[in-house]
Amino acid sequence: MQVNEMKTIRRSFNRANLRYSVVEKEDDKTGAEALATYIKSWVKRSRHLTSGIVYCLTQDDTKQLASFLVRKGVSADYYHGGMNTSDRQLVQTGWMVGKIQVICATIAYGMGIDKKNVRFVVHFQLSKSIEGYYQESGRAGRDGKHSECVLFYNPKDVSRVKKIITMPKKGKTRNMKERDIKKLEKVAEYCENRLQCRRQQLLLHFNEHCPIQRCNGSCDNCEK
């Protein structure tokens, strides 16, 4: 049997149409106020229907934040694994067809869902790893158009996520928990690095050469 020559195709981690930024929040209350302002600003600037995802740490967070956004005049709803199937399907369909603009969800949301016109992905609390953050934020701008990836940060969130990581869980060893804490600390380092280009930080994390020092204003650090 003749084996044809194999070719390795490697895609870049660089998503040139995504703008990365980190927003410091004093607490979740002031962060929610800022988030509502951001969303209304994005909707106002957009010529087309704006669609977005806001990732939250817990199921309760999704419900509380969605309710707050609705009170602020944002078309929003929540989605998490604790809902019954029919309710989840109703929310997902509403978001997919544009009846709901913003969906507040836990990080499991979005797996296998291909909605190309997502204009912003917000992490209201920390993602647990750079890999997770890259994958989750990468659900924005799949149509190639400019989109925003925003991470709201407060150092207290690190402690909160660490508590979740270290909770007793069947099959999770001490070494696994320590590994996950190190991954979380990398996300905190990313947030606290206010000098280096965000895009460069992400690419270097994945061992991809970044030919530029500055990304021409497509991250908050390079706009300073």
Cβ atoms 89, 148 nearer than 8 A: no
Can you give the pTM of this predicted structure?
0.90
* Domains, the chain, with CATH or none: 18-223 (3.40.50.300)
How many helices (H) and strands (E) in the chain? 8, 6
**Other Cβ atoms closer than 10 A to 196:** 15
Rounded to whole angstroms, the Cα distance separating 64 from 68 reads 6
For residue 75, the model assigns a pLDDT of: 95
Ranges of the chain with pLDDT below 70? 1-10, 47-49, 110-112
Residues in the chain, overall count: 224
pLDDT tens digits, one per residue of 82-103: 999 999 999 999 999 999 999 9
pLDDT tens digits, one per residue of 28-50: 999 999 999 999 998 888 766 68
